[in-house]
Every structure is written in structure tokens, then in C-alpha cells.
């Protein structure tokens, strides 16, 4: 199974080769994998920013406890969940669903109303946690796609969300930085690549 081999190959890359860039073609494949991610109700209540700019990443590095992956990697991928969920988000989804499935949007009203009621019953904290959780599903697809393409990646939670939001002007867009990942190609000097992968045995992990 190629997937298992790819997952055995990947690791959280700590040091990237600054001379190597992820190609536009591979970036499009990674974006497609993220687009195809599962999400609650299929709503995909998040946006994904792919940052190439060295200037922006240098600013974000200071909000990432100085971690060098931010600037050494080919690209920085930022998953942003919607901090405010409105009925317009639901209407946009069902308009798209109507178009793609070629059904009248009025035929989808009951399902749309059910989702709206469910979301409206959530507190602001619950909504934020719910939409943030969806970004981790998308992150998983990014990691798997990168492993298949033999592109290195490092998922990261070590950053200051408030500062990211400020630097990227996210709050005025109703967005919040949820999780990030750096992608590129491992440096020959990254000793982490030679470290054995530590995972619980399957007999312990599964009941």
C-alpha cells in the first residue's frame, strides 16, 4: 500500500533546503487535495492562505517563536477558520450544491433550515471550535498529499494566533488562524529525518 510507505517516509521536517521550491504544478495538486477534504455538512467554513512572500513570512516568524521553518520552507500554509458563521455561508453552500447537483435550491430548503438551526444553537465558542476542527481534516489531506508527492511538511501549532490575525488582517475578514504547515524539501542537515518514528503499537492504540 503506497499510502503506508508514504506515511513511513514523512516526518515533521525541522530544517528545509532554502534552494528548493515546490513547483506550481505540485502546489495545484496539494490545493486540490485540500479542496477535497471532508468537512462537517460539507460547508468548508475556512480559507487556506499559501504564503510565498519572504517579507510576510519574516513578520510571521516573530509570531512563531522564531521557528526557522517559517522562512526556510518553500511555502507557508495557513488554515483559517471562520470566527463568525452566518446564514449567508449556508446559503452560498446550497446555491453551489443546487448548481452542481442540478436541483432546485427550493428542494434543499428543509436541509438548509436544519443546518441553520443547528449552527444557530451553538454558542460563539462552540462555533469557533467547530470550524477550527474542520481545518485539521484539511491539514491531514495536505500532509498525505505532500507525502505522496515526496514534498516535506511540518504541521505547527507553535505560533501566536492573535499576532497572525493582526499581521494578516484576518479579523476584519471574519477569520482566525487555526493551524499552519510549512512545506518544501528537507535539508541534508536536518538530523530529524534520521530519527526513528515513535508511534504506539497498534495493539495498544486500537481496542
pTM, entire model: 0.96
HSE (side-chain half, CA atoms, 13 Å) at 12: 8
Bridge-based pairing of strands 75-82 and 46-51 is antiparallel
pLDDT at residue 115 in the model = 98
Average pLDDT of adjacent 10-residue blocks, the chain of 207 residues = 94 98 98 98 98 98 98 98 95 98 97 97 96 98 98 98 98 96 98 96 97
Output the pLDDT for position 190: 97
Q: What is the pLDDT of residue 1?
A: 78
For the chain, domains (ranges, CATH) are 2-88+123-205 (3.40.109.10)
Nearest residue to 86 (alpha-carbon basis) of 55, 49, 145, 45: 45
DSSP letter string, 56-100:
HHHHHHHTTTT-THHHHSSEEEEEEEESS--HHHHHHHHHHHHHH
Dist CA 102 CA 145 (whole Å):
30
The residues, ordered by sequence, that sit 6+ positions from 143 with a Cβ below 8 Å of its Cβ are 10, 153, 155, 181
Amino acid at each position: 500500500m503506497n499510502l503506508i510507505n508514504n506515511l513511513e517516509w514523512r516526518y515533521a521536517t525541522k530544517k528545509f533546503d532554502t534552494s528548493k521550491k515546490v513547483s506550481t504544478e505540485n502546489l495545484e495538486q496539494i490545493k486540490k487535495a485540500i479542496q477535497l477534504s471532508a468537512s462537517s455538512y460539507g460547508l468548508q467554513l475556512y480559507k487556506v492562505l499559501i504564503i510565498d512572500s519572504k517579507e510576510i513570512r519574516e513578520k510571521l516568524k516573530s509570531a512563531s517563536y522564531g521557528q526557522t521553518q517559517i522562512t526556510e520552507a518553500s511555502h507557508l500554509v495557513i488554515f483559517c477558520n471562520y470566527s463568525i458563521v452566518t446564514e449567508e455561508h449556508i446559503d452560498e453552500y446550497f446555491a453551489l450544491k443546487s448548481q452542481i447537483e442540478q436541483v432546485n435550491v427550493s428542494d434543499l430548503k428543509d436541509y438548509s433550515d436544519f443546518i441553520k438551526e443547528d449552527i444557530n444553537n451553538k454558542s460563539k465558542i462552540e462555533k469557533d471550535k467547530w470550524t477550527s476542527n474542520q481545518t485539521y481534516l484539511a491539514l491531514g489531506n495536505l500532509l498525505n498529499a505532500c507525502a505522496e508527492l515526496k514534498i516535506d511538511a511540518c504541521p505547527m501549532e507553535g505560533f501566536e494566533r492573535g499576532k497572525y490575525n493582526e499581521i494578516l488582517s484576518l479579523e476584519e475578514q471574519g477569520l482566525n488562524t487555526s493551524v499552519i504547515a510549512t512545506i518544501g524539501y528537507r535539508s541534508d542537515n536536518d538530523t530529524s529525518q534520521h530519527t526513528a518514528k515513535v508511534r504506539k503499537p497498534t495493539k495498544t492504540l486500537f481496542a
